[in-house]
A and B are shown apart, each in its own frame.
Chain A
Amino acid sequence: MDLLKRACLYLVRKKGKTATLLAFLLVMATLVLTCFSIQSATITANTNIKKALLGYFTINAKHLDTGITESVLNQILSIDGLSGNYILRSYSYANYYDTDGKLLEISTEGAAQTPAEYENAGKIVASSNSENDSYFTEGGFKLTEGKAITSENGNAVLIHEKFAERNGLTIGDTIQLFDVTDKNRVTDVTVAGIFTSTKEQDAIGIAPSCDLYDNIVFTDLATASYLLYGTEDETNIQFGDFHVNDPEELDRIMEQVQEINGVDWNSCTLTCYDKDYQNAKKSLEGLQNIVFIAIAVVSAICFLVLALFMTLRLRSRIHETGIYLAMGISKGAVLLQYLLEVFIVAAIALLLSYGASAAISNQIGSRLLSQVTAETYETVDLTQNAETAKQPTEDLGLSEIIVEISATDYAIVWAFGLVICMVSTALAAYPIMKMNPKNILSQMS
């Protein structure tokens, strides 16, 4: 009778023992597999935290004659590690006229001395989305009528309600923006919205009239680009805030940006903003370490328990070993039979554990917040693709935390599981195999 048959018969006839072993290995394999899936899920969660801490860098290209051109922008955006969220901004000054060429009246109340040429000018603020501008997010501006300006709108402006009142403007009216620096750039724009300021301007007495809240006009980037650079079909920008996936990589990405040719990077200022990440960094690492340690502890102890269990199990088979040896079956063959039995059961357990841990992982996954609630954060999209920007789950660009067993993890568990089973069986068998058959038989009777 060959040992494969013996091994199979043992497994079939000793149903209780086989079931115990199977249950044991199954539980172990499921635990370790689930551990691994949890480990990779926490890595995703960690990446998400890092991403959500919104590390970004700002390029200040105010001093470049052409600003950041579209081709440079595309090169920047192709750098690996950017999250795809970015805000582009331009600032300028313009004189305001109505369509008849009549100068529109600006407020001068409380203004400080205004530089020459700027007496009738107001500040032009352009951004990929006016809602994200600091005047709105921090300065207390609020849109009362109309819509915010995004890169979709062309030749649109938002004006202050007092400015609108003063000049009898309403939504849909057209005004003209004149470049202040005498380059004879003029463009027609439509009033798309009216805003108000809820906080008092504390710079009263210091700010020149063009900077007064009442005189600020928000417009789109293309309009600002024309006023600043005279571009017709292209949109050049002054400032860009580029968010990265991992704030840890900010330095690398900023270096890569400065390797882009054709730009005088010395005239630009690159600033990295990762204070939130820097604050959280240590705790974040601590959290990640703890998860790692948990996995390490579980894996290590699982393997230890597995080895001990195998030893315990094999000890109850000393008797049988003695009989085999007395019958002239070689030690090697007996050991091989035991190994084969464990191998078969382990293989079944590992197969089953995939299903078991997949089910558990699924359960865990469904309990995760990130899969239940949608983030409410906004993306800015210059590609004029409104659909993608509106999907709520894409907002922060966080990856969905998927708790599942990866093929590599499964392979690792297979390899380690089998090796540990085999080695611990062999180690447990060693003392028995070292005894001479007479001692084994005398021990059993």
Chain B
Amino acid sequence: MMHSKTKRNEVVSMNIIELKNVGYAYENKRKVLKAINLSLEEGKMYAILGSSGCGKTTLLSLMGGLDSPSDGQIFYEGKNIEKAGLSAHRKNNVAFIFQSYNLIDYLTPKENVALTSKLPPQPILERVGLTEEESRRNVLKLSGGQQQRVAIARALASDAKVILADEPTGNLDEDTAAEIANILKECAHQMNKCVVIVTHSNELAKQADEVLRLHRGEMKMLDRLNQSGRSGCYTEIVLQTYKAFNR
């Protein structure tokens, strides 16, 4: 499937993020990621599934430049992110959405959105479903779903091509979670962003264009989850390695 798409577009630079043999070990030498190879494209929403502690969040942090891998390299639009500078990478290329929202508590939704963007914040906030009045409130006085919408708006406003979401619906009820998932999907499809979601929720993963499974530090790419909702029925297709992919 990956192959066919690459062939169809015939542009390698479509791979906005590439991971080459990325490994990560904690200071106590415990390896959480082993030689991960991965290519992610714009306009798609990816879901990375995995059990707790399997290294999902670590992988997301590495892609977002919050940390450096112990082995291997990460490329953004073909450039090594460490060479370009992690801070610049975070600033220009990626935007985070966290399970715990991580809004700045002394700023209003508008100001949170305006933190890294020069765009007018209100249209973006309205787009994710916040009213004008809600956009001026203290962020701590918003509901969880609303706070997460602000976080998404902040991510969208940042103009980054990659949105990295860590359990974005983890604290939310089913209906709200579904709405957030839709918003994220729209981001990928309509705004041509590369959305990467780390989750253990199958419901959320179902919405993704592609699903990857991280297991014991190794990555498996799965087919799109069955839209009909037969959860748990994954079809394992390819175990992609970078070498194989490239040649």
Decide yes or no: A328 and B92 within 8 Å by CB, A438-B61, A445-B100 being known contacts: yes
Decide yes or no: A327 and B96 within 8 Å by CB, A320-B104, A438-B61, A438-B66 being known contacts: yes
Q: Which of B66, B91, B98 contacts A329 (CB 8 A)?
A: B91
Decide yes or no: A325 and B66 within 8 Å by CB, A1-B111, A1-B115, A331-B87 being known contacts: yes
In the assembled complex, A199 has its CB within 8 A of some CB on chain B: no
B91 touching A328 by the CB < 8 A rule?
Answer: yes
B89 touching A328 by the CB < 8 A rule?
Answer: yes
Q: Which of A7-15, A53-61, A152-160, A393-401 contacts B (4 or more CB under 8 A)?
A: A7-15
B17-65 residues with Cβ-Cβ distance < 8 A to A are 57-58, 61, 64-65
A327 touching B95 by the CB < 8 A rule?
Answer: yes
Q: Which of B57, B64, B107, B138 contacts A326 (CB 8 A)?
A: B64
B89 touching A10 by the CB < 8 A rule?
Answer: no
A441 touching B158 by the CB < 8 A rule?
Answer: no
Minimum CB–CB distance from B127 to chain A (whole Å) comes to 19
Residues in chain A near residue B106, CB distance under 8 A: 9-10, 13-14
Minimum CB–CB distance from A321 to chain B (whole Å) comes to 11
In the assembled complex, A344 has its CB within 8 A of some CB on chain B: no
Nearest residue in A to B57 (C-beta to C-beta)? A442
Residues in chain B near residue A324, CB distance under 8 A: 104
In the assembled complex, A437 has its CB within 8 A of some CB on chain B: yes
Minimum CB–CB distance from B170 to chain A (whole Å) comes to 11
In the assembled complex, A436 has its CB within 8 A of some CB on chain B: yes
Decide yes or no: A327 and B64 within 8 Å by CB, A9-B111, A13-B107, A445-B100 being known contacts: no
In the assembled complex, B132 has its CB within 8 A of some CB on chain A: no
Minimum CB–CB distance from A221 to chain B (whole Å) comes to 81
Q: Which of A6, A10, A320, A326 contacts B90 (CB 8 A)?
A: A326
Chain A's interface size range is 20 to 34
In the assembled complex, B148 has its CB within 8 A of some CB on chain A: no
In the assembled complex, B114 has its CB within 8 A of some CB on chain A: yes
Residues in chain A near residue B114, CB distance under 8 A: 1
In the assembled complex, A99 has its CB within 8 A of some CB on chain B: no
A322-351 residues with Cβ-Cβ distance < 8 A to B are 322-331
Question: A436–B66 Cα gap in the complex (Å)?
Answer: 7
Q: Which of A10, A331, A436 contacts B67 (CB 8 A)?
A: A436
Minimum CB–CB distance from A328 to chain B (whole Å) comes to 3
Question: A264–B94 Cα gap in the complex (Å)?
Answer: 95
Q: Which residue among B58, B92, B103, B104 has the maximum number of chain A CB atoms within 10 Å of its CB?
A: B104
Nearest residue in B to A332 (C-beta to C-beta)? B87
Q: Which residue among A10, A325, A436, A438 has the maximum number of chain B CB atoms within 10 Å of its CB?
A: A438
Question: A327–B101 Cα gap in the complex (Å)?
Answer: 12
Interface of chain B, helix or strand or loop or mixed?
loop
In the assembled complex, B84 has its CB within 8 A of some CB on chain A: no
Question: A442–B66 Cα gap in the complex (Å)?
Answer: 11
**Binary contact track A96-136/B, C-beta < 8 Å → 1, others 0:** 00000000000000000000000000000000000000000
B68 touching A436 by the CB < 8 A rule?
Answer: yes
Minimum CB–CB distance from A300 to chain B (whole Å) comes to 34
Residues in chain B near residue A323, CB distance under 8 A: 102-104
Q: Which residue among A323, A327, A331 has the maximum number of chain B CB atoms within 10 Å of its CB?
A: A327
Question: A329–B102 Cα gap in the complex (Å)?
Answer: 14
Residues in chain B near residue A331, CB distance under 8 A: 87
A330 touching B104 by the CB < 8 A rule?
Answer: no
B136-173 residues with Cβ-Cβ distance < 8 A to A are 138, 154, 158
Decide yes or no: A437 and B104 within 8 Å by CB, A326-B96, A327-B158, A330-B91 being known contacts: no
A327 touching B66 by the CB < 8 A rule?
Answer: no
Residues in chain A near residue B95, CB distance under 8 A: 327
Question: A319–B114 Cα gap in the complex (Å)?
Answer: 19
A325 touching B107 by the CB < 8 A rule?
Answer: no
B88 touching A328 by the CB < 8 A rule?
Answer: yes
Decide yes or no: A327 and B115 within 8 Å by CB, A438-B67, A441-B66 being known contacts: yes
A326 touching B115 by the CB < 8 A rule?
Answer: no
Question: A115–B66 Cα gap in the complex (Å)?
Answer: 112
Residues in chain A near residue B6, CB distance under 8 A: none
Nearest residue in A to B89 (C-beta to C-beta)? A328
Residues in chain B near residue A442, CB distance under 8 A: 57
Residues in chain A near residue B68, CB distance under 8 A: 436
A328 touching B87 by the CB < 8 A rule?
Answer: yes
Nearest residue in A to B100 (C-beta to C-beta)? A445
Minimum CB–CB distance from B16 to chain A (whole Å) comes to 16
A9 touching B107 by the CB < 8 A rule?
Answer: yes
Question: A319–B89 Cα gap in the complex (Å)?
Answer: 20
In the assembled complex, B116 has its CB within 8 A of some CB on chain A: yes
B116 touching A326 by the CB < 8 A rule?
Answer: no
Residues in chain A near residue B100, CB distance under 8 A: 445
A327 touching B67 by the CB < 8 A rule?
Answer: no
Decide yes or no: A327 and B111 within 8 Å by CB, A436-B66, A436-B68, A438-B61 being known contacts: no
Minimum CB–CB distance from B159 to chain A (whole Å) comes to 11
Question: A264–B225 Cα gap in the complex (Å)?
Answer: 119
Decide yes or no: A328 and B67 within 8 Å by CB, A1-B114, A9-B106, A9-B107 being known contacts: no
Question: A441–B61 Cα gap in the complex (Å)?
Answer: 10
**Top 9 nearest A-B pairs by Cβ distance?**
A328-B91, A328-B90, A13-B106, A438-B67, A438-B66, A437-B66, A438-B61, A323-B102, A330-B87
A-B contacts, 14 of them at CB < 8 A, read A6-B107, A13-B107, A320-B105, A323-B102, A323-B103, A324-B104, A326-B64, A326-B98, A328-B90, A328-B92, A436-B67, A437-B65, A438-B61, A445-B100
* Given A6-B115, A10-B106, A445-B98: 9 more A-B contacts, CB < 8 Å: A1-B111, A9-B107, A327-B95, A328-B116, A329-B91, A436-B66, A437-B65, A438-B66, A441-B102
B binding-site residues for A, Cβ under 8 Å = 57-58, 61, 64-68, 87-92, 94-96, 98-100, 102-107, 111, 114-116, 138, 154, 158
A binding-site residues for B, Cβ under 8 Å = 1, 6, 9-10, 13-14, 319-320, 322-331, 436-439, 441-442, 445
